[in-house]
Amino acid sequence: MAITLNSGFKMPIIGLGVWRMEGKDVRDLIINSIKIGYRHFDCAAVYRNEAEVGEALTDAFRTGLVKREDLFITTKASFASNLAASLWNSDHGHVLEACKDSLKKLQLEYLDLYLVHFPVATKHTGVGITDTALDEDGVLDIDTSIPLETTWHSMEDLVSKGLVRSIGISNYDIFLTRDCLAYSKVKPAVNQIETHPYFQRESLVKFCQKHGICVTAHTPLGGSTANTEWFGSVSCLDDPILQGLANKYKKSVAQIVLRWGIQRNTVIIPKTSKNKRLQENFQVFDFELTKEDMEVIKGIDRKYRTNIPTKLWGIDVYA
């Protein structure tokens, strides 16, 4: 199942995020997920594992497990994803170099999707260096000389050079998304944002979809184990209403949440390192939530996000 982007390319509606995966675990995760049926991988330079992802992909191509054209790879500068890539905060003035660095590490000739990871330009720390630039107060050292419009036009150049098939944005609110639509020659194909039952962002999702921008949920299980451990988040997977729906459909709570995301016409990229969960997350196409149950889930929105940018860098890029 896939969504056709405004660039004309098809993006699988479910993918796998590779955050917090290292070494041999990355290879096993990629190979196992391909065998299960995953064809979409979401990476980022800041995950510091693009090289390992690249080795796994090369191995999969070499052994005939899958062909390059069968996969959709996304990455973000200093971040890599989905055989798509994203531009990291410190790379806003070095878009071409950052993209080529990700391509080299991923051992690919082109990316399916390249994203501006955050709408924040910080002091350049060096291409391929993913450390966050902080000032003496420990907050982001923001570079005010690089407008987002300049960054976007550099992203557009990647398309014309054939390095990237589609380009997009990530963590943009409705106002920044509107501005990007106004100054872009090549419209953003995707806006990758945090959205889940506890942080539904209905206005932003509908705005993007109205203007032909596909929404990807980078935290579709909101407050999962990783976020709970790292950021003290409340997990929607513990919600009694969602647990009741899981019992009704004889599915896991995670499967209910992922199916909800799919029925909103959003792409979902859940992350897991466990093979059982990897299979479970992919088994969401054999049932459908009723309109009534979709409305029930709509009613549990808490306007609650994990606040990762705030907790990591002392600022809120969503504000």
User: Which residues sit in the known binding site?
Assistant: 117
Q: What are phi and psi of 38, to 5 degrees?
A: -65, 135
For residue 25, with 0-12 CB atoms within 10 Å meaning exposed, 13-18 middle and 19 or more buried, which class applies?
A: middle
CA dist 38 and 36 (Å) reads 6
Catalogue the active-site residues: 47
CA dist 14 and 278 (Å) reads 11
Binding positions for substrate are 117
79-87 and 40-43 beta bridge pairing: antiparallel
Q: Give yes or no for a contact between 154 and 175, defined as CB atoms under 8 angstroms apart.
A: no
Scanning the structure block, which residue is given the tokens 């260096």?
Answer: 129
* Maximum pairwise Cα distance, the chain: 54
DSSP 100-138: HHHHHHHT-S-EEEEEE--S--B----TT-----B-TTS
CA dist 204 and 171 (Å) reads 11
DSSP 263-282: HTT-EE----S-HHHHHHHH
CA dist 139 and 48 (Å) reads 21
- DSSP letter, residue 238: G
Q: What are phi and psi of 166, to 5 degrees?
A: -135, 150
CB neighbours of residue 67 within 10 Å: 9
Q: How far is CA 114 from CA 102, 186, 191, 312, in A?
A: 10, 13, 11, 23
